[in-house]
Structure 1
Amino acid sequence: MFEWLSGFSPVKQALIGTLFTWGVTALGASLVFFFKTIKKNLLNGMLGFAAGVMIAASFWSLLAPSIEMAEELGQIPWLTAAVGFLAGGAFLFAVDKFLPHLHIGKDTSQAEGIKTSWQRSVLLVLAITLHNIPEGLAVGVAFGAVAYGLPSASLAGAVALAIGIGLQNFPEGAAVSIPLRREGFSRKKAFLYGQASGVVEPISGVIGALAIVSMRPILPYALSFAAGAMIYVVVEELIPEAQQGEEHIRTEIATIGSMIGFSVMMILDVALG
């Protein structure tokens, strides 16, 4: 099914995969041309779905292969996975503390990171872009791992991860552009900012693939690093935002969305990988 991709180098495969995820983000962001608002319940469900996909991908596509590869390379599996996982979370924690950004719906005075005089629109885009870094990195590392021919790293598995990330990027793109429209942005500007949040995925994807191709011993660490970064985003940002709204319905909708997202990603990884 994916034979045509095998003719490309791992770096080009990573670029193709992350361009796909970026494209799906833009497709989701294009919904702003048809809708001015989005119901909070639907937004919570979308965020929950994205969280579920990322949680499933962190284990099925990243942590499990990391442990298997560590064994194949003669490393201590549990130590490699734990070190990489915690390092990924620490990296996102540091970026979150230093990069100026502002979450949608909050006043400029509530901007996080280093204090700056940057415009509100720039701060909003940076907040949106922040959690796309580990997604692109995860796809890049997955494709880079295929180059070594290890049993736990398959092209189909990398494609499954890219498809899963792409699926959660569609509602994510809409969840970005439509709220921006509600904040007073024009449809065109809201779309441009919404799709721009995915630009970082091809960049981080290529960087991840290049690093893996150049340094095989870090492969298990890189996989678990990406997993840790993704879980940090889920727990620190996606789940809290998905829980906002009316108390009696917000938890149920976000939880159902997470369950569906997890199941979809698990099916993709097991069926294709």
Structure 2
Amino acid sequence: MDRLLSLSGVAVGYRQHRLRTGPAIIADGIGVDARAGTVTALLGPNGAGKSTLLRSIVGLQPLLAGRATLNGQAIDHLPAPVRARRLAVVLTDRVDAGLLTAREVAQLGRHPYARLTGRLSARERDLVDGVLHRLHAHPWADRRFAELSDGQRQRVLLARALITEPELLILDEPTSFLDVGARVELMILLRELAAEQGLIVVVSTHEVELALRTADAAWLIDDGTVRSGTPEELITSGAIAGVFETPAARFDPETRTFGPVIS
């Protein structure tokens, strides 16, 4: 059976809101899937709830309703050690790695499989080296993580996630600290890794134009709902234009780009 992330009747938000006694629901009635071997881009305007949805999927905050399942198993019911091996997450939170080198931070991806000795096997060392090379992070792998640029740190954190060898990879705004060329390179790399390793990849991004060109599928969150489809389907239906167009910017379905309104 193909790997599948499935959300059914999901509501996300916060159980207690500081201004009211009940929960604050950001999005409700979510029913979407993400399949193995594909990259699904989570798109939406600022404040729509992209990060909240991702954090809820992986169990960092509770679902308010519904189920998020990985291959038919409820993610929030998985024992913590099992979840740590099957899911890998790269969030926007700052990481304080102390005096660890980039390589040592990446190696933490093997922690869910750690032996009593704490030593990596020959295969695991090869895996670490291979992932660092694939992400072009090997030239500075032995530098202190704290000394790296934001973009370099992002690559190391992605390496740590891939070194876990997960079934599901969740990334929240992974291109935020990368320059234009590196953003394109990363999205293409994620698609290659998904196809090669049978990964389910879900990535939130503000890079709408880039996502529409490189992702296999998209979830579009806005106004408390989530729509899903291929980029082409969401473009043809007018959903992308409906969410992101402004009085000053129009979306061109042919070029999949936004441009100024010229009167």
Q: Same fold (TM over 0.5)?
A: no
Kindly indicate which of the two structures has a greater share of residues assigned to strand.
2
Q: TM-score, normalised by structure 1?
A: 0.27
Kindly indicate which of the two structures has a greater share of residues assigned to helix.
1
| Structure of larger gyration radius | 2
Q: Which has the higher contact order (CA 8 A, sep 6+)?
A: 1
